């Protein structure tokens, strides 16, 4: 009998893997991310190198605020009246004009920027930052402090977070890297469950509506058929995942190699919004990056990912199979999608709102323990380090969870696949569940 399950798995697997669309999706998807990344990098690089500096006219009623020109902006002090400066902007001779009225240092107000086109947000904030610094310097002077002395007192602090473990097993961790890892792993599992769960549902509906099911269940038990389908499609997912891992790492290293090692680092810094953590991109930063990446236990991460991927997929896959069996067409399935979508959405949103923010909070803990949310939520926590007993509890519950959803789905599936043309609601499903025949 187990040989027959294997036949079903093999059919489900080959029928999908051999499809041209599988090949396309598998090959193109991993290209999308690096391509977009590469495209942005290319635009960003060519942007700064080719664009002409923006010329900005400054009218300063205080005659005190001299802004230094930089790569992006050139400031011109033509001692013009505001009207004349405005005309220059209108004639296109200046990008914009910055008007600084006589300022009260206690409460600086009335600074305006005039331009033909809407200025970039980054430009306004850069102007604001420069003026702020100038005003602060004036105020420091006014209170008798030398800004030079103050700046010499400033220092860079960079806390290296180290996870305490067995002797020699201490590893450097960084919340940004952990965040990224948790983020990607959580989203991947969420997406996989939806995409492959839907394939299960479509497959069941195909067999049901084309009545192939009658021939099949006259040859093997409905439960075997359902399990064969779930496992076969799951194997397709794993295959796709493995191909992606290989492709993404190959292509990413190519892209990174092309743009140099500095780019992914900068990207990492921008993501964290904590530029001052690393002193620019010196040798020190590079060392730190290597340390951090080495700090990730890839084996453990991959293993937990696979466990939660398979567990989560099985748990929800059973639901998708039951839904497929209960309806006659995909459009009828909508009404039953609610109980599947909601817990997954909770897991997804919980990942962003709670888990990645504070992996050890009470909410994060429960999200990563309850089987309906744990596949997504635990992947958000795992890179931050999770006590083994929590991991064991979560995995244990996940296994119990998918065993019970599979059992329930089997009961619905067994009856549903043979029912045609009747409107099936939750009440009917409940009846099928209770039916012991």
Positions that interact with another protein (CB under 8 A): 1, 4, 7-8, 11, 15, 19, 206-207, 209-221, 418, 437
What 8-state DSSP symbol labels residue 278?
Answer: S
Nearer to another protein, 136 or 214 (CB): 214
Helix 298-326 to helix 222-259 angle, to the nearest 10 degrees? 140
Whole-number minimum distance, CB 436 to another protein, in Å?
A: 10
CA distances from 22 to 189, 204, 234, 266 (A): 18, 19, 14, 34
Whole-number minimum distance, CB 287 to another protein, in Å?
A: 54
As to burial, measured by CB atoms within 10 angstroms (0-12 exposed, 13-18 middle, 19+ buried), residue 433 is middle
How many whole angstroms separate alpha carbon 225 and alpha carbon 414? 10
Whole-number minimum distance, CB 336 to another protein, in Å?
A: 22
Nearer to another protein, 20 or 107 (CB): 20
Nearer to another protein, 11 or 53 (CB): 11
Whole-number minimum distance, CB 18 to another protein, in Å?
A: 10
Whole-number minimum distance, CB 217 to another protein, in Å?
A: 5
Q: How many CA atoms lie within 13 A of 359 on its CB side?
A: 22
How many whole angstroms separate alpha carbon 319 and alpha carbon 315? 7
Nearer to another protein, 58 or 216 (CB): 216
How many whole angstroms separate alpha carbon 90 and alpha carbon 67? 22
Whole-number minimum distance, CB 219 to another protein, in Å?
A: 5
Nearer to another protein, 3 or 273 (CB): 3
Whole-number minimum distance, CB 11 to another protein, in Å?
A: 5
How many whole angstroms separate alpha carbon 158 and alpha carbon 335? 53
Nearer to another protein, 156 or 218 (CB): 218
Cβ neighbours for 363, distance < 8 A, ≥ 6 positions apart: 350, 354
Whole-number minimum distance, CB 212 to another protein, in Å?
A: 4
Listing DSSP states for 378-414 in one string gives: HHHHHTT---HHHHHHHHHHHHHHHHHHHHHHHHHHH
Whole-number minimum distance, CB 242 to another protein, in Å?
A: 24
Nearer to another protein, 231 or 269 (CB): 231
Strand partners, 163: 171
Nearer to another protein, 10 or 93 (CB): 10
CA distances from 110 to 98, 100, 215, 387 (A): 11, 7, 81, 56
Q: Counting every residue, how long is the chain?
A: 437
Nearer to another protein, 38 or 222 (CB): 222
Positive or negative torsion for Cα 300, 303, 306, 307? negative
């Amino acid at each position: 009998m187990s040989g027959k399950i294997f036949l079903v798995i093999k059919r489900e697997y080959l029928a999908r893997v051999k499809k041209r669309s599988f090949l396309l999706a598998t090959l193109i998807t991993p290209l999308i991310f690096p391509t977009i990344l590469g495209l942005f990098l290319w635009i960003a690089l060519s942007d700064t190198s080719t664009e002409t500096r923006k010329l900005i006219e400054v009218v300063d009623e205080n005659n005190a605020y001299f802004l230094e020109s930089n790569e992006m902006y050139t400031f011109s002090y033509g001692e013009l009246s505001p009207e004349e400066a405005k005309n220059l902007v209108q004639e296109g001779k200046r990008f914009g004009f910055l008007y600084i009225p006589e300022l009260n240092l206690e409460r600086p107000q009335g600074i305006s920027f005039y331009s033909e086109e809407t200025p970039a947000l980054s430009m306004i904030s850069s102007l604001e930052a420069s003026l702020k610094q100038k005003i602060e310097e004036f105020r420091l002077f006014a209170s008798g402090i030398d800004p030079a002395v103050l700046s010499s007192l400033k220092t860079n602090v960079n806390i290296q977070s180290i996870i305490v473990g067995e002797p020699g097993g201490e590893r450097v961790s960084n919340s940004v890297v952990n965040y990224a890892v948790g983020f990607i792993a959580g989203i991947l599992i969420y997406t996989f469950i939806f995409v492959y769960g839907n394939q299960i549902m479509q497959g069941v509906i195909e067999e049901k509506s084309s009545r192939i099911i009658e021939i099949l269940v006259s040859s093997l038990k409905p439960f075997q058929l359902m399990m064969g389908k779930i496992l076969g499609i799951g194997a397709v997912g794993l295959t796709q995942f493995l191909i992606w891992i290989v492709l993404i790492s190959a292509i990413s290293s190519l892209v990174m190699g092309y743009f140099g090692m500095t780019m992914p680092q900068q990207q990492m810094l921008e993501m964290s919004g904590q530029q001052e953590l690393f002193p620019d991109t010196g040798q020190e930063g590079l060392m730190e990056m290597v340390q951090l990446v080495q700090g990730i236990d890839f084996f453990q991460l991959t293993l937990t990912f696979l466990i939660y991927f398979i567990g989560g997929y099985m748990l929800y896959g059973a639901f998708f199979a039951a839904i497929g069996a209960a309806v006659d067409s995909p459009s009828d399935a909508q009404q039953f999608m609610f109980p599947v979508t909601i817990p997954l959405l909770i897991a997804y949103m919980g990942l962003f709102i709670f888990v990645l923010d504070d992996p050890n909070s009470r909410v994060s803990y429960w999200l990563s323990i309850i089987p309906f949310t744990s596949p997504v939520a635990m992947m958000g926590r795992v890179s931050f380090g999770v006590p083994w007993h929590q991991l064991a509890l979560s995995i244990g519950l996940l296994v119990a969870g998918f065993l019970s959803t599979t059992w329930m789905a089997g009961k619905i599936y067994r009856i549903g696949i043979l029912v045609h043309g009747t409107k099936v609601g939750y009440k009917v499903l409940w009846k099928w569940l209770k039916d012991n025949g």
